[in-house]
Structure 1
Amino acid sequence: MTAVSDAPAPVPDPVRSARLAADLDAADLRSDPLRQLWGTEADDALGRGMREPILRAIADDDGVLATLGRLFVLGLPQPEAAVASALPTLGVDGLVALGLARVEGDTVAPCALLRPQSFVDADGVGEWWIASDLDEVALDGPLPADHVLGVGGASRTLAETVVPVQVERALDLGTGCGIQALLVARRAGTVVATDISRRALAYAELNAQLNGVTNIDFRHGSMFDPVAGEAFDLIVSNPPFVITPRTEGVPAYEYRDGGLVGDALVETFVRAAPAHLTRGGIAQLLGNWESRQGVTGLARLEAWVPADLDLWVIEREELTPLAYAELWIRDGGTTPRDAAFVPLLTAWLDDFAARGVTAVGFGYVLLRRGDGEPLRRVERLGQSVSNVGAALAAGLAAHDVLAAGLPSTLLVAPDVTEARHLMPGDDDPSVIELRQGGGFARTVGVDSALAGFVGACDGELTVAQIVGALADLFDVPLADLWADLEPKIRSLVRDGFLTPGE
């Protein structure tokens, strides 16, 4: 059994949090000033788990920003007098009362990290202070079972994936340190943030106070229990979806392990979420799903969703059981050099073998309680993506538009380019491709007729006029050309290459 933290949980207090925020603001504890203080290379090294370059860069600096950087960003004890000088509004006693530090002799030892976190969303660029538990570097050892993670890779992925819609009520299920609730709160009247961990809720509430966000209601409980009978316009979740053996001796970290067998947590969410969606409401989550005995994980996931619900699943990667086990064993701080590695690996592989698991997929799931013909998209995308939330929103809008038929006029999306490949000496291209510069960065092959159609979509001519002109140009019957082009055009609209005209 993995030990729990011996550090206290935060004690949110709006007055003390406001005082701390005032001191942090006065010290300019922000990402850019910190990078300027210790250098970009040292800052990047911290992201790889190395703090020595930062310590060398600020070794002789006793200024306020350096003191707070060592205390909150690196998690290192600092002289009490220096901390008192750096936090004149809150004071050391106030910091201790918030549960963020303790006094040991004439030093202040941090109980938590408190780092600036930049974000970019549809509303602009900003930055928050995010408190979380001390990490492996600060602890110089493995994480405790009740560790509250800061803003990690999965958090950033979900933040980029959430559809940027204005809503009245939103739910962040499994809020952790609260980063998703803070993001969603920018576009919601009210947000309910839930977690099974009271420690996580304490951090999430403290982070809301530090950043002046007041429209979040924090509730304790598992899955949808805290919101029984309630419905939301938007549900987001970065749940503890990591598949972990239910075997004695295997660490169970609250931030990543939901306590269920296999991918049952993701299945539970997907099956339960529709009952909590308003008409037009959207639910989004990250998750893992298992391929078992010839049935793909994507097929299993699709079977969990009622046929009358919109479903869009994007699988970003798929790992073998061995690769998956190694990934998460290393994530817990155990390497092949450690004696515990082989027993853990054996437990993981035995667990997968018991269910006939052949692969584990990871990706995004979007559900919507829509109107009309349901959207059902289940796909794999391995290429780099960007601004996924906006791309998902555009895809949903395109589905709704196409349900009423093709628009009369179409425009080429501004990020679309065309590439033509010719063999030496040839006048006509052997391959024509359309490429997206953003979103899902899709590349599709097209023939000369479809390329000509797309090239003419500038809003001046209708779809019918363009197809008629192409029929004359290629000297083919209009009905035949339309039968060939119409499904291809719909596909380009669906994927965002073409957008409705005015």
Structure 2
Amino acid sequence: MAGLMHTPAAAEPAALAAPRAGDAPLLGALLAAADLALLDQLARPVEHLRQPFWDPRTATEAVRGLDPLAAAVVRLWCLGQTVEAAELTQALDGETVGELVAAGLLARRDGERLAAPWRVATVLQRHLLVTPPAHDDDFDAAAPVAYVGPESLYFAPLVAGARRARRALDLGTGAGLLALLAPAAEVVAVELDPFAAAVARFNVALGMHDHVSVREGSLFAPVAGERFDLIVANPPFLPAPAGVALPACGDGGPNGDRVLRELIAGLPGHLDGDGRALVYGEDLGTLEEPHLADWLREHGAGDGFDATLHVTHTRYNERTALRLTDLWRACGASEQEAWDAWRELTERRPSTHHHSFVLDVRPGSGRVVVRRPPRV
């Protein structure tokens, strides 16, 4: 650790500007020199590998004994800690530190300290520059978001393990994780938010993925008339009450299912005849299935395709109510407004449970199947 000091981040960090793809090699060389991909697997406690971020509460022992460069990288970009500028030059030369500050990958705090306004998440040995998570001191609900979360970590191996495709499409790519993992000779990543699209381009350059291109626009609009043999998506699925401005990566409309429905409706026009789509989602419903299942039975996935909805996790509404109302309050709603919004949501869509699921669309006869994990 060579004398590296860490303190809580400043209370009011500067506004975060979108990264430049041309600066990605600078960070990439630093992450490679620190061997962060290996550290992420070996240094983090096993129980925390379900989260894409290092947990500052359990990282003290993990960082202890690392060489100065690796310790600096972990403390700055994985833990969000600040480091004395003079001491950082013991791990990095002054020229590199200056280049990182000029690129916006480091920021000066209180004159004497340096902090990383970004975090690096490592998933299946792919590094992604992302905005700080909600539990981080630097998180700002009103700031632009390039998101990677626990469901991203869960869904990523399913995408990476799909049959190799010729052309793949990642809808709502966010920071670009699924696009980087999709097993295809060519990948097109679509993102509505220009800020997130810039982050995705940075991450494409960070991993030197020349086969991935990023296009800006809403869902299928940027790929009109094109077809793919693999389509993947982790779209927004959080209910967004009127007057509550959720980040674009989470805003699923008043009921939470608007983007999911639009995406599913567009699949037949963009899947090759033998193509496949994998979509992660969440929705309210009964004990047995999410409400989306009824909509699928009515609308299906189009002629010539079967839709299998794999329910992966089911929880009581009470837990979801607490999570959503906390989120809405963080985005500007009062406590009373948040609970009123929850009551109105459950009146519109009577439900007892909340489900996580993976939707698998393949060639078929138009069947819709709901599968649940066995009860033990």
User: Taking structure 1 as the reference length, what is the TM-score of the superposition?
Assistant: 0.63
- State the match for 1:149 in structure 2: 147
- Tell me by how many angstroms 1:322 deviates: 4.1
| Aligned mates of 1:47, 1:295 — CA distance in 2 | 26
CA distance 1:81–1:212, shift in 2 (3 Å): farther
- State the match for 2:295 in structure 1: 300
Note if 1:172 corresponds to 2:170.
Answer: yes
The correspondence for 2:32, drawn from 25, 33, 38, is: 25
- State the match for 2:6 in structure 1: none
The correspondence for 1:66, drawn from 71, 88, 113, is: 71
* 1:84-141 C-alpha deviation (Å, 9 max, x unpaired): 4544597123223433222342322211012433x2xxxxxxx122211122343266
* 1:15-38 C-alpha deviation (Å, 9 max, x unpaired): x322332222222223437854xx
- State the match for 2:373 in structure 1: 382
Question: 8 Å contact 1:20–1:87 — kept in the other structure?
Answer: no
* 1:479-498 C-alpha deviation (Å, 9 max, x unpaired): xxxxxxxxxxxxxxxxxxxx
| Aligned mates of 2:50, 2:214 — CA distance in 1 | 35
| Aligned mates of 1:331, 1:35 — CA distance in 2 | 32
- Which shifted more, 234-243 or 55-64? 55-64
Question: 8 Å contact 1:73–1:113 — kept in the other structure?
Answer: yes
CA distance 1:287–1:34, shift in 2 (3 Å): closer
- Tell me by how many angstroms 1:276 deviates: 0.8
Aligned residues: 358
Could you tell me the percent identity over the aligned residues? 27
* 1:249-285 C-alpha deviation (Å, 9 max, x unpaired): x341222113454422211111111101112111121
What code does the residue aligned with 1:17 have? Answer: A
- State the match for 1:195 in structure 2: 191
| Aligned mates of 1:296, 1:33 — CA distance in 2 | 38
What code does the residue aligned with 2:175 have? Answer: C
Note if 1:12 corresponds to 2:31.
Answer: no
- State the match for 2:217 in structure 1: 221
The correspondence for 1:240, drawn from 236, 242, 255, is: 236
- Tell me by how many angstroms 1:223 deviates: 1.4
The correspondence for 1:98, drawn from 100, 103, 108, is: 103
| Aligned mates of 2:57, 2:320 — CA distance in 1 | 30
| Aligned mates of 2:271, 2:46 — CA distance in 1 | 45
Q: What is the 5 A alignment of 1:123-138?
A: 127-138=125-136
- Tell me by how many angstroms 1:64 deviates: 1.6
* 1:230-259 C-alpha deviation (Å, 9 max, x unpaired): 1111110000112232x22x3412221134
- Tell me by how many angstroms 1:288 deviates: 3.1
Q: Secondary structure of 1:365's match?
A: strand
| Structure with larger RCO (C-alpha < 8 A, sep 6+) | 2
- Tell me by how many angstroms 1:43 deviates: 6.4
What code does the residue aligned with 1:198 have? Answer: P
Note if 1:264 corresponds to 2:255.
Answer: no
Give the structure with the larger helix fraction: 1
Q: What is the 5 A alignment of 1:442-481?
A: none
| Aligned mates of 1:5, 1:376 — CA distance in 2 | 52
CA distance 1:112–1:314, shift in 2 (3 Å): same
| Aligned mates of 2:86, 2:277 — CA distance in 1 | 49
The correspondence for 2:200, drawn from 197, 204, 209, is: 204
Question: 8 Å contact 1:146–1:255 — kept in the other structure?
Answer: no
Q: Is there any run of 5+ residues in structure 2 with no aligned partner, and where?
A: 1-12
- State the match for 1:181 in structure 2: 179
CA distance 1:199–1:42, shift in 2 (3 Å): same
- Which shifted more, 90-99 or 232-241? 90-99
Q: What is the 5 A alignment of 1:331-346?
A: 340-346=334-340
* 1:208-247 C-alpha deviation (Å, 9 max, x unpaired): 21222111111111111111111111110000112232x2
What code does the residue aligned with 2:19 have? Answer: P
CA distance 1:285–1:48, shift in 2 (3 Å): closer
The correspondence for 2:119, drawn from 108, 113, 116, is: 113
Q: Secondary structure of 1:139's match?
A: coil
- State the match for 2:276 in structure 1: 282
CA distance 1:74–1:234, shift in 2 (3 Å): same
* 1:141-168 C-alpha deviation (Å, 9 max, x unpaired): 6533532223x22112322333621212
Q: Secondary structure of 2:360's match?
A: strand
Q: CA RMSD in A?
A: 3.5
* 1:55-75 C-alpha deviation (Å, 9 max, x unpaired): 477589782211121111111
Question: 8 Å contact 1:297–1:360 — kept in the other structure?
Answer: no
| Aligned mates of 2:358, 2:66 — CA distance in 1 | 44
Note if 1:230 corresponds to 2:226.
Answer: yes
Question: 8 Å contact 1:20–1:89 — kept in the other structure?
Answer: no
| Aligned mates of 1:33, 1:170 — CA distance in 2 | 28
- Tell me by how many angstroms 1:81 deviates: 3.9
- Tell me by how many angstroms 1:202 deviates: 1.7
Question: 8 Å contact 1:114–1:129 — kept in the other structure?
Answer: yes
CA distance 1:91–1:169, shift in 2 (3 Å): same
Q: Secondary structure of 2:21's match?
A: coil
CA distance 1:224–1:85, shift in 2 (3 Å): farther
- Tell me by how many angstroms 1:193 deviates: 0.6
